[in-house]
Amino acid sequence: MPMDKIRSLKSRRAQAARRELFLALGGKCARCSKTENLEMDCIVSVGSEHHFMSWPERIRFYWQQHLQNNLQLLCPTCHHLKTFLENTRCKILANQTALARAATSFVEHCAAARELHGVRGGEKSSAAE
Give the residues lining the site for Zn ion (CB under 5 A).
29, 31-32, 34, 75, 78
CA-CA distance, 120 to 129, in Å (whole number)? 21
Question: To which H or E segment does residue 77 belong?
Answer: helix 76-87
CB of 30 to Zn ion, least distance (A): 7
Instruction: Note the maximum CA span of the chain.
Output: 66
Complex with Zn ion: residue 32 or 67, whichever CB lies closer: 32
Residue 52: alpha-carbon gap to chain centroid: 20
Rg from Cα positions in the chain: 18
Complex with Zn ion: residue 18 or 31, whichever CB lies closer: 31
CB of 108 to Zn ion, least distance (A): 22
Residue 95: alpha-carbon gap to chain centroid: 12
CB of 73 to Zn ion, least distance (A): 9
CB of 78 to Zn ion, least distance (A): 3
Complex with Zn ion: residue 16 or 100, whichever CB lies closer: 100
Complex with Zn ion: residue 59 or 78, whichever CB lies closer: 78
Residues with Cβ < 8 Å from 79, sequence gap 6 or more? Answer: 39, 41
